[in-house]
Chains A and B, each alone.
Chain A
Amino acid sequence: MQNRPILLNSCARAATAAEARFRIDAPITPSRGARVVALDRRAESIVRRVAEQRWSSARFFVCESPGSSNGDMADVALLSTDGSASRLSTELIGADVAVMVATADDGAEAACAIGDACTLRGIMTAGVVISDGFGAEATVSALRPHARVLMVTRDEHDVAEVLSALRA
């Protein structure tokens, strides 16, 4: 009990609503550089809808040819939802999280390529698997090794939910 603080605002008792107004009100750095990638066709339409909302710096893509294995998945060809073509390696510059959206397991190879590229660069990975309960298993296993955080949900709004929570 020695060295107990004596001023109200110098001890834990200051955790009151009244003291809260003295908290520093600095603006919060707006964004995490989020890259959102649809791994399959149904995911693409979900991601396109999400992309229409207002985001601070998130960018949205579909894998140009999801599921097709042309032997070079190492640098996935991406198509931005605004129509421009680019490469995963370019898009990961300045990114701090890659969010993969999947509804089926045919994006497994792309997920692997994205996961590897992110691991190499120290970029966080997250996956949202949207499923109505059936057949999610294969999709989840396809993503599991490559997404540090995986959300399995029936609700496609969760994609936007996660992004806004991350201030994307």
Chain B
Amino acid sequence: MLRPELNELLTQTGPGMPMGELFRQYWIPALLAEELPEDDCAPVRVKILSERLIAFRDSQGRYGLIDEFCAHRGASLWFGRNEEGGLRCAYHGWKYDVTGQCVEVPSEPENSNFCANVKLTAYPLIKVGDILWTHMGDPASRPEPPEFEFVHVPSEQTYTSKRWQECNWLQALEGGIDSSHVTWLHSGALRSDPLFKGAKGNQYNIGDLKPFFEVAEADGGLFVGARRNAEDGKYYWRITPWIMPSFTMVPPRGDHPVHGHFWVPIDDENCWVYTFDYHPVRALTAAERQAMEDGFGVHSENIPGTYRPVRNKDNDYLMDREAQRQGKHFSGVEGIAIQDSSLQESMGPIVDRTKERLVPADSGIIKARQKLRKAALALRDHGVTPPGVDPAHHRVRSAAIVLPREDSFLESCRDAVTATPGVPQTTV
């Protein structure tokens, strides 16, 4: 349960809000690199942290992320022409470069200096891996670029997709921290999904429906361990890292690629879910990549030409009661990603946390909310840099491991939960 003012604090990420300022300390995904595939390609509307922006790639391949609306009379630059090193408004021809600087106002005399005083708000946009990242905070405290492993392995080892989710970012993120839902909601997928099935660990998941949980602090956020009984009195541990503000990884299964998410607020009632899959030491197979593109694993099948899932709230996520009855899909909704989004969206655009009945198994969520709140307030009141800003905090991994009973998951797994180039993931 949260008091109403705390729920507001954690869920509102617009400019000037404490949680909005927190998000503005980090490099966050703004769009996929595939959305700006070539120089002078079509500009893309981007709304994040409740700011409407336009992203484009100019004639020299430079990326820009600027205010969506022309300084002249406020027309959307989405209609603009991306040409000769800048984006020209389709209305009266004002032109802007990637820094938001106006470089031409056609109505002014040839030798006028008028445009020098016209500049749109602009944020940096950098390509790291398959993602274009932005930092929307004070340039003076701009951290080094992100070091998450999934954007640093060779491109043939990694795949990222994204989808629009119609609810607040926090309830979506909480789904990534709450590993107790996996045994229920995603039980069908453990047996059938091409990117999940066949792992030995799945048997432990299916065989022990009442895991024990352990929540421990990490430099950048948390590690949440779920332990289940394995053979010979050993424990099967699944370890989920959360790096602030909204990066999580799912513990691996067998030699399948490892996956995770990055949740980015669009506004307070919508978010982008960036979903990645990578293998630390080998290329993805053609079959794996195809399965990801087809929306298996944690990816989604999207409406062609958009990032909106085919199964969405306008069509009740194509709920299939027969599949639910037969246990093919526990909830009757197909696909792990949509199993999550359907329930998270059903909670309402911003879930009313004053009404919830949490149980001890929700400790990961309880602790994550507390860390977010503390970091947001420490930043607001004392200018303290939050955990997860330092790129060193990004070098984590999820892990799945069988350990003797007396072993601590963190002590025994320190290497396993550290991303080390060239070293395979720790998995069962």
Count B interface residues, CB 8 Å. Answer: 42
Quick one: which of A147-168 are within 8 Å of B by CB?
147-155, 157-158, 161-162, 164-167
Contact A166 B359, CB 8 Å, known A141-B408, A152-B215, A152-B217: yes
> Of B1, B314, B367, B405, which is within 8 A of A153 by CB?
B367
> Which chain A residues lie closer than 8 Å to B349 at the CB level?
15-17, 20
- Assess the A165–B217 pair: CB atoms within 8 A: no
User: Measured between alpha carbons, how far is A79 from B183 in the docked complex, in Å?
Assistant: 39
The verdict on A62 contacting chain B, using a C-beta distance below 8 Å, is: no
User: Measured between alpha carbons, how far is A102 from B214 in the docked complex, in Å?
Assistant: 15
Contact A154 B217, CB 8 Å, known A12-B345, A20-B348, A148-B361: yes
- Assess the B406–A152 pair: CB atoms within 8 A: no
B317: nearest chain-A partner, CB-CB: A12
What mask results when residues 382 to 411 of chain B are scored 1 for a CB within 8 Å of chain A, else 0?
A: 000000000000000000000001101011
B210: nearest chain-A partner, CB-CB: A148
The verdict on B33 contacting chain A, using a C-beta distance below 8 Å, is: no
- Assess the B213–A148 pair: CB atoms within 8 A: yes
- Assess the A4–B316 pair: CB atoms within 8 A: yes
- Assess the B370–A161 pair: CB atoms within 8 A: yes
B316: nearest chain-A partner, CB-CB: A12
- From B24-32, B62-70, B77-85, B350-358, the one touching the partner chain is B350-358
B351: nearest chain-A partner, CB-CB: A20
Quick one: which of A1-28 are within 8 Å of B by CB?
1, 4-5, 11-13, 15-17, 19-20, 23, 28
User: Measured between alpha carbons, how far is A152 from B217 in the docked complex, in Å?
Assistant: 7
- Assess the A97–B217 pair: CB atoms within 8 A: no
- Assess the B269–A164 pair: CB atoms within 8 A: no
Contact A15 B348, CB 8 Å, known A154-B217, A162-B363: yes
- Assess the B363–A151 pair: CB atoms within 8 A: yes
How far is the CB of B420 from the nearest CB of chain A, in Å?
A: 23
Interface SS of chain B = mixed
- Assess the B269–A17 pair: CB atoms within 8 A: yes
How far is the CB of B79 from the nearest CB of chain A, in Å?
A: 30
- Assess the A15–B345 pair: CB atoms within 8 A: yes
> Which chain A residues lie closer than 8 Å to B216 at the CB level?
151-153
Quick one: which of B330-367 are within 8 Å of A by CB?
342, 345-350, 352, 355, 357-363, 366-367
Contact A13 B362, CB 8 Å, known A137-B408, A158-B370: no
Count A interface residues, CB 8 Å. Answer: 40
How far is the CB of A77 from the nearest CB of chain B, in Å?
A: 25
How far is the CB of A40 from the nearest CB of chain B, in Å?
A: 19
Quick one: which of A89-143 are within 8 Å of B by CB?
97, 99, 124-126, 137, 140-141
User: Measured between alpha carbons, how far is A99 from B366 in the docked complex, in Å?
Assistant: 15
> Which chain B residues lie closer than 8 Å to A144 at the CB level?
212, 214, 408
The verdict on B313 contacting chain A, using a C-beta distance below 8 Å, is: yes
> Which chain A residues lie closer than 8 Å to B215 at the CB level?
149-153
User: Measured between alpha carbons, how far is A5 from B315 in the docked complex, in Å?
Assistant: 9
* Most interface-central of B313, B347, B360, B361 (chain A CB within 10 A): B360
- Assess the B362–A12 pair: CB atoms within 8 A: no
How far is the CB of B120 from the nearest CB of chain A, in Å?
A: 31
- Assess the A148–B346 pair: CB atoms within 8 A: no
B355: nearest chain-A partner, CB-CB: A28
User: Measured between alpha carbons, how far is A23 from B355 in the docked complex, in Å?
Assistant: 11
Contact A166 B214, CB 8 Å, known A12-B345, A15-B345, A137-B411: no
B180: nearest chain-A partner, CB-CB: A149
User: Measured between alpha carbons, how far is A152 from B215 in the docked complex, in Å?
Assistant: 6
Contact A148 B212, CB 8 Å, known A4-B316, A162-B363: yes
- Assess the B316–A150 pair: CB atoms within 8 A: no
- Assess the B408–A140 pair: CB atoms within 8 A: yes
A143: nearest chain-B partner, CB-CB: B214
What mask results when residues 135 to 157 of chain B are scored 1 for a CB within 8 Å of chain A, else 0?
A: 00000000000000000000000
How far is the CB of A62 from the nearest CB of chain B, in Å?
A: 21
User: Measured between alpha carbons, how far is A17 from B362 in the docked complex, in Å?
Assistant: 25
> Which chain B residues lie closer than 8 Å to A157 at the CB level?
370
What mask results when residues 63 to 104 of chain A are scored 1 for a CB within 8 Å of chain B, else 0?
A: 000000000000000000000000000000000010100000
List 7 interface pairs A-B (beta carbons < 8 Å), by A numbering.
A15-B347, A16-B348, A28-B355, A144-B214, A148-B212, A157-B370, A162-B366
Query: Apart from A11-B313, A148-B213, A149-B363, what are 15 other A-B pairs with CB-CB below 8 Å?
Result: A1-B315, A12-B345, A15-B346, A16-B348, A17-B269, A140-B214, A144-B212, A145-B405, A148-B210, A149-B360, A149-B361, A152-B217, A152-B410, A165-B358, A166-B360
